[in-house]
Amino acid sequence: MADGVDAIQEGWRRERPDFPVESIGVITRIWRLAQWFSDDRRRTLRALDTDPSTLDLLSTLRRSGEPYAMTPAELAEASLISAGAISQRVAKAERAGWVHTERGASGKRTSRVRLTEAGLWLNEQLVGDLLAHEQTLVEHLSPGERAQLTELLRKLLAGLG
């Protein structure tokens, strides 16, 4: 039961038997899984006229709880992307009407990005559907395997710093 990643490992073992190829089995599979899940999400969301970046923005605001408002700096930290990318995501979501930027009193530099009613409603729909769908994607593994995998991933991630 071999997959494309085994083929890569075997290629290197054949060509350079002295190279340590064990990490490929973990890291390359993680890359492929990430790509697969990303593509799947992009396809699903495109059919609903949105995209993963916008969903991530709305979900971050939603998860923060009432009043569903955060500063750009907070959003950047929570989303693990640059502040510049947040500006662009917010501009796009604002054009679509999902969020509204509240600027401080005249000329203030600070601002807060807040979910609109429409944005809140959209997010509830999308997240509910997506989580249900993604649950089915991991159910090829038994409950025990899922728990084991979760723990191993957590440990690997924690070990990286």
Asked if 96 touches a copy of itself (CB under 8 A), the answer is: no
State the number of binding residues for DNA (CB under 7 A): 24
* SS (HEC) of 26-94: HHHHHHHHHHHHHHHHHHHHHHCCCCHHHHHHHHHHHHCCCCCEECHHHHHHHHCCCHHHHHHHHHHHH
CB of 140 to a copy of itself, least distance (A): 3
Residue of 17, 22, 95, 108 interacting with a copy of itself (CB under 8 A): 22
Beta-bridge mates of residue 127: none
CA 100 to CA 112: how far, in whole Å?
8
Name the binder of 100 from DNA, a copy of itself, none, CB < 5-8 A by kind. none
Applying the rule CB under 8 A, the residues between 119 and 158 that interact with a copy of itself are: 124, 127-128, 131-132, 134-135, 137-138, 140-141, 145-146, 148-150, 152-158
* Interface pattern 35-64 for DNA (x via CB under 7 A): ----------------x-x-----------
Q: Which C-beta is closer to DNA: that of 88 or that of 148?
A: 88
Q: 139: which DSSP letter? A: T
Strand order in the sheet with 99-103: 69-70, 111-115, 99-103
CB of 103 to DNA, least distance (A): 8
